[in-house]
Amino acid sequence: MKIHVDETSREIHSLRTKIGDWVIIFICVLIAIICLLPMLNLLARSLSSSEYLVKHQVYLLPKGLNFNAYSTVLDDPKYIRAFGWTVLLTVICTFLSLAVSTLCAFPLIFEKLKGRSVFNVIITVTMFFNAGTIPNYLLMQKLHLLDNPLVLIIPGCLSVYNMIILRSFFYGIPDSLRESAEIDGASYFTILWKIYLPLSKPVLATLALFYAVGRWNGYSDALMYMKNKDYYPLQLLLYNILNNINSVEVSTQEGFSTPGLSESLRAAVVMFSTIPILCIYPFLQKYFIQGVTLGAVKE
């Protein structure tokens, strides 16, 4: 008798677990859909023909499939130029930032380094106290960096947060490796180049992703410091496009409908400036999870 009761209760228990599992799977699918929905809608719009867009019939699948909007974008030198410039900018910034971060993180792991705690304080203070927008602007003016393409590269070339991630990773590399190299008479440059950097490839990949995403997505520095439209990064160009089209839309909202092509064109431009990052990040997932976790480990 007792055994029988036990079995039924176990069955009920496992049934409850199973239902629970399915409920959780359902919620997760729902969450994934919420994340993807706006992108799907965007893709559908960018590929739809204007007659369906004007009639408000495009939901998640393109209707009247065509690539006109994309060919318009790709034919427009304005977009191609901004795209190329932003790619170039992102590549330069990423390499420069990685180099500066490494230079900053590596010496700080040596406990014997005199003044190490002073350097750490100097670095940490900048994380919490910022001079502010206007003092920064006046500095750029003083350095003749306003309207200079370098202003999009140099001021952002070290993120202390990212540097700390790298430093945490360096701490995790066994001291014995370094010490044996020191005994062999290797210089610190060699130790960094031959031992630390090769071992840090995963975390360097993470930082590269963080820096690249930051530069690709950033627009406020260009908005504040850059008047020359030739050097606008893609995101700022996109911001201006979205707002111009939007203001036209507001003024014509009553009466006649918005022109369909500009609608799909707008979707295509947004898509065009998103795709590079969406293609890269899934492959680096393993690494950036580690990076975020390292960032949480502060000294």
Partner 1 sequence: MADLEEQALQAEEKPKKPEKPKKEFVPKSSAGIYLKRYWQLYVLLLIPLVYLFIFKYSPMYYVLIAFKKYSIVQSVSEMPWAKNHGFEYFIKAFQNKDFRYALRNTVFLNLLDILAGFPIPIIFALLLNELRLKFFKKTVQTIAYMPHFLSWVIIYGLALQLFTPTDGLINMLIQKLGGEPIHFLDNANNWVGTYIGLGIWQSFGWNSIIYLAAISGISPELYEAASVDGAGRFQKMWHVTLPCIRPTIVVLLILALGNILGSNFDRPFALQNNLVLKNAEVISTFVYKNGIKGLQFSLTTAVGLFQSIVNVIFLCIANWFSRKMGERGIV
Footprint (CB under 8 A) of partner 1, residues 20-79:
20-21, 24-25, 27-29, 31-32, 34-39, 41-42, 45, 53, 56, 59
> Which range of residues in 63-71, 73-81, 178-186, 198-206 is near partner 1 by CB under 8 A?
178-186
189 contacts partner 1 (rule: CB under 8 A): yes
Smallest distance from partner 1 to CB 225, Å: 9
Name the minimum Å distance from CB 80 to partner 1: 19
Task: Work out which of 73, 166, 192, 222 binds partner 1, going by CB under 8 A.
Answer: 192
Contact 86, 153 (CB under 8 A): no
SS3 59: coil
For partner 1, how many residues bind (rule: CB under 8 A)?
Answer: 101
Residue 189: how many CA atoms within 13 Å on its side-chain side? 0
Q: Is the Cβ–Cβ distance between 19 and 30 less than 8 Å? A: no
Considering only residues 63, 64, 81, 107, which one is a binding residue for partner 1 as defined by CB under 8 A?
107
Distances (CA, A) of 281 to 40, 107, 167, 234: 18, 30, 23, 19
* Nearest-approach distance from CB 290 to partner 1, in angstroms: 9
Identify residues 218-247 at the interface with partner 1 (CB under 8 A): 218-220, 223-224, 235-236, 238-239, 242-243, 246
Q: Which residues from 76-95 bind partner 1, rule CB under 8 A? A: none
What is the Cα 23 distance to its own chain's centre?
32
Q: Are 270 and 243 in contact (CB under 8 A)?
A: no
CA distance 104 to 111: 14
Q: Smallest distance from the beta carbon of 65 to partner 1, in angstroms? A: 18
29 in Cβ contact with 39 (< 8 Å):
no
Window 254-283: residues binding partner 1 (CB under 8 A): 257-258, 263, 266-267, 270, 273-274, 277-278, 281-282
Q: Are the C-beta atoms of residues 235 and 76 closer than 8 Å to each other? A: no
Based on DSSP, count helices (H) and strands (E) in the chain, helices before strands. 16, 0
State the binding string over 114-143 for partner 1 (x if CB under 8 A, else -). Answer: x----x--xxx-x-xxxxxxxxxxxx---x
CB of 220 to partner 1, least distance (A): 5
